[in-house]
Each structure stands twice: as C-alpha cells, then as structure tokens.
Amino acid sequence: MAGVAKALGVPMRRAHRALNDVYVTAEIFKRMSKELGGRYRAHTLGDWINLQGEAIYTPAPAGVPLLEPLATAMKNGRGLRLLLVSPTGLDTLEAIPRYATTHQGTNHLTVYVPAQKQLQTFPLDHIFSAELIED
C-alpha cells in the first residue's frame, strides 16, 4: 500500500495501524476513482464492486424488490432455474443468486452459474420466470 500511496501523493502517517490504514486506503480509492471512473463508467462504490468481478456476499440493499422465489433462494443459498430475456431471445439458466444491486436506476441480480463457474449480472426485469431447483 505504501508504494501506491506514494505514487498518488497520499500522505501516510503510521502504517499498519488499523485506523490510519483505513484513511489511507479510502484516500487511495477516492483518487483512483476520480482518475479511472470515467474510463470504466464507475461513479459509486456499487459500480466498482460490480466491476471487480468476484462475489461479495452482501444482503440486498433496501429498496431492491425481490419477488419469490428469488428472495427465498438468496436467503437460503438455493439454486434457481431462470428463464430470462437475453440478446438472443429467451434463455434458461441454472444459478444461485448472490446479491441484488441498483445501478443507474435499474435493479440488477448477480448470480453464480455453477456450470460456467462464474458470476453473471443482469437486470432483474429480464427475468421472465424463476423456480427453485429441488435438492
């Protein structure tokens, strides 16, 4: 962290002290976000979290409506069979929902797709139907 802080002109006082490290990390994030935000179209912490590409397990933020069975699947870590609208038409996807976010006024769902061993994110309004996968 010291090298990044120095390169960005972020003053470091007492390294490896929890609160000081938090302040330095926050300032590094602010400066990098300002510099790179336009290039990656990332302006909020949620935007950056979505861009980082790995699961960050958080509860759905207040205001993101999750209908059944999405809410049950997310709460219990259950798999779903989703029928969703894609650029090529209707697709079926078996996935485990991880978290819901709002980006630029649109609610999105991030799911883990076991068959592809990857995360995918898509607008919630692209889900045509969802059913729980029986264990």
How do residues 44-56 score in pLDDT, each as one tens digit? 777 777 777 665 5
Cα 49 to Cα 52: distance, rounded to the nearest angstrom? 5
How do residues 48-104 score in pLDDT, each as one tens digit? 777 776 655 555 556 677 889 998 998 888 999 999 998 888 999 999 998 888 877
Per 3-state DSSP, what percentage of the chain is helix, strand, and coil (rounded to 5)?
35, 30, 35
What's this model's pTM, rounded to 2 decimal places? 0.55
Start-end ranges of CATH 2.30.30 in the chain?
Answer: 70-132
Element (H, E) at 94: strand 89-103
Question: Looking at domain 70-132, which of 2.30.30, 3.40.50, 1.20.1280, 2.60.40 is its CATH number?
Answer: 2.30.30
Q: Within 13 Å, how many C-alpha atoms sit on residue 113's CB side? A: 13
pLDDT > 90 fraction of the chain, expressed in percent and rounded = 24
Please list, in sequence order, all residues whose beta carbon lies within 8 angstroms of the beta carbon of residue 1, skipping any fewer than 6 positions away: 12, 15, 21, 24, 25, 28
